[in-house]
Amino acid sequence: MSEGARVPVRRTAKLFIAGGFPRSESGRSYEVFSHDGRLLAWAARASRKDLRDAVRAARAAQPGWAGRTAYNRGQILYRVAELMEGRRAQFEAELADVGAADPRRGVEAAIDRWVWYAGWADKISQVLGGTNPVAGPYFNFTIPEPTGVVGIVAPQDQALLGLVSRVAPAIASGNTVVVIASERSPLPAVSLTEVLGTSDVPAGVVNLLTGYTRELVPWLAGHMDVNAIDVTGVPEDLLPQVEELAAENVKRVHRAPRVDPFSDEAQSPYEITALMEFKTVWHPMGA
């Protein structure tokens, strides 16, 4: 048998929940096409039950992740970059499939974005926290803390860089996340979960669902155990409904700055603090 006759093994694109890779409990999937109309794969079409499982996994993982030292979280984010670097060819091929203008640049920018946010993990409180000179014998300081479980609706385009730009700042501070991947281009996101699954990121810190955005978003926005929602990938016409649903448990609603995702303006410490709470501590001073 000649070399060329070998039949390649295809990957099953699955969800990523609690560190595992389940199919949708609903048994549903949907077809994913390349920009030129080739059938690339069937992606899992996550259900409401899958979403609730993902939130539960994120909630369970959150105290442990926030309890890691900032140094440790930084190293783990950096490790994600290390492992992505080793899978560049795969990511580039996937970006080419979805018709990215410059797949190589997209992958490099995504890796560098992990490195950039890795560095913030142990600096954010130095830059954006501080002591407050109150007029009295008190030591008073303010520190940013993660808000908890964050729902992220990833942008529909920029399937890799757009996704990384939302996930990295959210988890750098100690949040855990439930991500709804780009409906049209979910495969780079699925590959990213395979990197995350082997990067020392604890199970449940990142959970990723593929499926129909319009179906999943209201469930995420209305979930009472989600503390904040990043609406970057929410279709415009759905946004009022999402904000209304978010009101029920006063979710923080945040969206990415509308700038070129490759630019320096697309990365910012304020993307981290947008998903944090500021806590102020008073302590008396006296002999």
Partner 1 sequence: MGEIERTATSALEQQQRVWEYATAPEARDIVRLEDRYDLFVGGRFVEPRSGRYFETINPATEEPLAEVAEANEEDVDLAARTAREAWEERWRDLPGKERAKYLYRIARALQERSREFAVLETMNNGKPIKESRDVDVPLAAAHFFYYAGWADKLDYAFPGRAPRPLGVAAQITPWNFPLLMCAWKLAPALATGNTAILKPASTTPLTALLLAEVIEQAELPPGVVNVIPGPGGKTGGWLAAHPAIAKIAFTGSTDIGKVLRRNVAGTGKRLTLELGGKAANIVFEDAALDQAVEGIINGIFFNQGEVCCAGSRLFVQESVFEPLLDKLKARLDTLRVGDPLDKNTDVGAINSRDQLRKIEELVQSGLEEGAEMYQPDCDLPERGFWFRPTLFTNVSQSHRIAREEIFGPVLSILTFRTPQEAVEKANNTEYGLSAGIWTEKGSRILWMAERMKAGVVWANTFNRFDPTSPFGGYKESGFGREGGRHGLEPYLDLDGASAEGGDGA
Q: Which residues bind partner 1 (CB under 8 A)?
A: 70-71, 74-75, 78, 112, 115-116, 118-123, 126-127, 139, 269, 283-287
> Could you tell me the smallest distance in angstroms from the CB atom of residue 71 to partner 1?
6
CA 110 – CA 262 distance, rounded (Å) = 9
> Could you tell me the smallest distance in angstroms from the CB atom of residue 226 to partner 1?
29
> Could you tell me the smallest distance in angstroms from the CB atom of residue 122 to partner 1?
5
Nearer to partner 1, 139 or 278 (CB): 139
CA 63 – CA 242 distance, rounded (Å) = 26
Nearer to partner 1, 16 or 117 (CB): 117
CA 155 – CA 181 distance, rounded (Å) = 8
Nearer to partner 1, 120 or 219 (CB): 120
Place of tokens 């300081």: 141
Nearer to partner 1, 247 or 281 (CB): 281
Nearer to partner 1, 125 or 207 (CB): 125
- Pairing between β-strand 149-153 and β-strand 252-254 as defined by DSSP bridges: unpaired
> Could you tell me the smallest distance in angstroms from the CB atom of residue 77 to partner 1?
10
Task: Identify the helix (H) or strand (E) that includes residue 150.
Answer: strand 149-153
3-class secondary-structure state, position 75:
helix
Nearer to partner 1, 38 or 283 (CB): 283
Phi, psi of 108 (to 5 degrees): -60, -40
Place of tokens 């729902």: 151
Cα 287 to Cα 128, 132, 137, 246, distances in angstroms: 30, 21, 11, 48
- Pairing between β-strand 276-284 and β-strand 138-146 as defined by DSSP bridges: antiparallel
> Could you tell me the smallest distance in angstroms from the CB atom of residue 162 to partner 1?
19
- Retrieve residue 213's tokens: 């955005």
CA 157 – CA 256 distance, rounded (Å) = 13
Burial bucket for residue 23 (CB in 10 Å: 0-12, 13-18, 19+): middle
Nearer to partner 1, 137 or 240 (CB): 137
> Could you tell me the smallest distance in angstroms from the CB atom of residue 115 to partner 1?
7
> Could you tell me the smallest distance in angstroms from the CB atom of residue 225 to partner 1?
32
